[in-house]
């Protein structure tokens, strides 16, 4: 997994504290344990005292500064909390987390402009928890401002980008449980289960042949950076193929680059999916050994949706 702001924002705040706390320099003795106990009990006065002491002993510990800010915010000491959250960020706390906490403190302080600026920064840094945003009691004063609805929509889109935008849904016609036969002669070819997964971002094909042990999977995604669809095919014979293309005139049209073959030749593939009806799809594959000048049919399949 590549660590990106979007991936980071999808982690819960609890997970952050579990992992980030482990990276901090521990304080000897029972002082940290005692501070944690009063913090978990929401004894904010005791928490403020405990974490004030801990930040003096370990000023580079972002978690201590963050918890000190939380205690101060809960006690109504908003300016002190803002300073502590800023120090938490300087010490290494994720910006999306510290800016969100700053937004809470600003909202409680009555500074809506400051709160919206901080929320905007949190979203830019990867914040993507719309349910938390809408349910946060500290932010209630912002709800009637038009800017809040806009930020909430941004958080929803950041959390589930593939649920928005028509390009992500162009290949949905292939989703389902299918019986597959050859287009010529209607001979049984296999079964395929095509499913949507990972936040509706990935279409996964699960193929099993009828007359052999051959099986494979393909992972189909819309590459927003390249503005194209890509398919990655893998199988149980150590095969792997990378297709790329897009929807053209209602047909999902894929190609590969020229692939060198063991005998010194090259091979290029052209794969198309034709939605013939709501319950029928044609998959047609061709190959070229002369860099796309001429094409030869490889297989021609008809997918028929299975009835429940």
Q: Mind listing the pLDDT tens digit for each residue in 271-302?
A: 999 999 999 999 999 999 998 999 999 999 99
pLDDT at 259: 84
Mean pLDDT of 3-20: 43
* Three-state SS at 129: coil
Please give the CATH number for the structural domain made up of 5-159. Answer: 1.25.40.10
Stretch(es) of the chain classified as CATH 1.25.40.10: 5-159
Rounded CA Rg of the chain: 27
The confidence score (pLDDT) of residue 56 equals 96
Return the closest-CA partner of residue 88 out of 102, 74, 109: 102
Pick the CATH number of 167-305 from 3.30.470.30, 2.40.128.20, 3.30.200.20, 3.40.50.970: 2.40.128.20
Residue pair 272/284 in contact (Cβ under 8 Å)? The answer is: yes
> Is 31 a residue whose pLDDT tops 60?
yes
Average pLDDT over residues 153-168: 91
Tokens of 130: 């719309």
pLDDT band at 9 (very low <50, low <70, confident <90, very high): very low
Name the segment(s) of the chain with CATH classification 2.40.128.20: 167-305
Least confident span in 8-17, 25-34, 160-169: 8-17
Pick 151 or 6 by higher pLDDT.
Answer: 151
Chain centre to alpha carbon of residue 221: 13
User: Do 203 and 233 touch, CB atoms closer than 8 A?
Assistant: no
pTM value?
A: 0.70
The per-residue pLDDT for 26 is: 44
Segment 230-275, tens digit of pLDDT: 999 999 999 999 999 999 999 999 999 998 878 888 899 999 999 9
Residue 17 has pLDDT above 90, yes or no: no
Residue-by-residue DSSP string for 11-53 = S-HHHHHHHHHHTSPPPSTTHHHHHHHHHHTT-HHHHHHHHHH
Angle between helices 112-124 and 146-159 (to 10 degrees): 20
At 36-76, the pLDDT tens digits run 999 999 999 999 999 999 999 999 999 999 999 999 999 99
Please check the confidence at residue 96 and state whether its pLDDT lies above 50: yes
């Amino acid at each position: 997994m590549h660590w990106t702001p979007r991936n980071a924002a999808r982690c819960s705040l609890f997970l952050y504290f579990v992992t980030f706390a482990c990276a901090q320099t521990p304080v000897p003795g029972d002082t940290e344990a005692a501070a944690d106990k009063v913090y978990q009990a929401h004894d904010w006065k005791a928490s403020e005292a405990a974490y004030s002491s801990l930040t003096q002993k370990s000023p580079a510990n972002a978690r201590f500064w963050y918890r000190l800010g939380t205690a101060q915010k809960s006690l109504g000491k908003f300016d002190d909390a803002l300073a502590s959250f800023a120090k938490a960020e300087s010490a290494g706390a994720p910006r999306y987390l510290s800016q969100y906490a700053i937004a809470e403190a600003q909202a409680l302080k009555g500074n809506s402009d400051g709160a919206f600026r901080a929320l905007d920064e949190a979203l830019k840094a990867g914040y993507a928890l719309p349910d938390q945003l809408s349910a946060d009691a500290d932010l209630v004063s912002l709800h009637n401002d038009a800017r809040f609805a806009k930020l909430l929509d941004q958080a929803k889109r950041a959390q589930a980008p593939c649920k928005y935008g028509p390009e992500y849904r162009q290949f949905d016609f292939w989703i389902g449980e299918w019986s597959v036969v050859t287009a010529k002669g209607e001979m049984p070819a296999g079964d395929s289960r095509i499913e949507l997964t990972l936040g509706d971002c990935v279409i996964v094909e699960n193929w099993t042949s009828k007359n052999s042990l051959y099986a494979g999977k393909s992972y189909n995604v819309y590459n927003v950076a390249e503005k194209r669809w890509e398919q990655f095919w893998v199988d149980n014979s150590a095969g792997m193929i990378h297709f790329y293309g897009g929807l053209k005139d209602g047909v999902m049209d894929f190609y590969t680059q020229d692939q060198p073959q063991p005998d010194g030749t090259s091979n290029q593939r052209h794969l198309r999916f034709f939605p013939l009806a709501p319950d029928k799809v044609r998959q047609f594959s061709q190959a070229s050994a002369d860099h796309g000048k001429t094409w030869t049919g490889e297989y021609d399949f008809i997918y028929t949706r299975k009835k429940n």
